[in-house]
Amino acid sequence: YQRVKGLSYLAGIPLLLACIIIFIYLKGNPAASQPMFFSFTFPPGAGINFMVGGSIAGAIVASDFSRYTRSHAHNAAGTFIGVFFPSVFLGMMGMLSYVITGDWNPLQIFNHLIWLSLPFILLSAWTTNDNLLYSSGLALSNILPGLTRWQNTLCCAIAGIAMALMGITGHLQTWLNILVVIIAPLLGVFLAHQLVVKKAWPGRINYWALLATLTGIISACIIPEYFISSLFSILIAGIVYIKLIWISAKFGISGLT
């Protein structure tokens, strides 16, 4: 963890300064003050779904790094700060870049200076993948405790390289949709268990949680995007889980194995 933290300080701070400089450049461009008229290429609700999916994924990763805080409140605050403010800032950069260059990627302004944009790409990819490997290695170690930590991390690295070679970046919208459909219901079940059920997580398979998550996934696939299906699937999965727990307690049905 300390090495990951050190790398983030080493590369993250220069990247942040570079982003601020690019943002100031974009904001000072005369085109940034001109009125722009856009037509939606997909429903606004779909855009909100992408934001929700990205925020959930970011919060899951950020919590792995803020778990060393002194209290749950500090953990929540660290996760919020680490996800919300960078997302807003980068979103503003993307919008300004689109207004000025016609592309959401602000590095397009350095197209004629590839030697200048290359360090940004290398540093951002290095730090991002390093942090994600740390988080994914932790998650896989919980699923496959029989393997050592470095073996699980290596498996994640190989899987990531394979997905990159298959061109996953060309299907980013589909990937974000998958994250929304699967992770949002999981979040609904988790919040329902923590805030309403308030029981210790069982050390066995919780079939009620699986059933509620499946219900949320199906609802996310059925609900039209313009209804912001991600938020509805969180609510549906959480409500179904609470009802299943209530029914099991009333009739003495166990959902664990």
Q: What is the pLDDT along the chain (257 residues), one digit of tens a residue?
A: 667 667 666 666 676 777 777 777 766 666 555 555 556 566 666 777 777 777 776 766 666 666 677 777 777 777 777 777 777 777 777 777 777 777 777 766 666 666 666 777 777 777 778 878 888 888 888 788 888 989 999 999 999 899 888 888 778 777 778 878 888 898 899 889 888 887 766 667 788 989 999 999 999 888 887 777 888 899 999 999 999 988 888 877 765 55
d(CA 23, CA 35): 18
d(CA 85, CA 164): 27
d(CA 126, CA 11): 9
Amino acid at 97: S
Q: What is the per-residue pLDDT for 117?
A: 67
DSSP category for residue 137: H
Alpha helices per DSSP H over the chain:
2-7, 13-28, 44-66, 72-101, 114-143, 149-165, 172-192, 207-222, 229-251
DSSP category for residue 203: S
Q: What is the per-residue pLDDT for 32?
A: 53
Q: What is the per-residue pLDDT for 29?
A: 66
- The pTM of the full predicted model, rounded to 2 decimals, is 0.66
Q: What is the per-residue pLDDT for 113?
A: 62
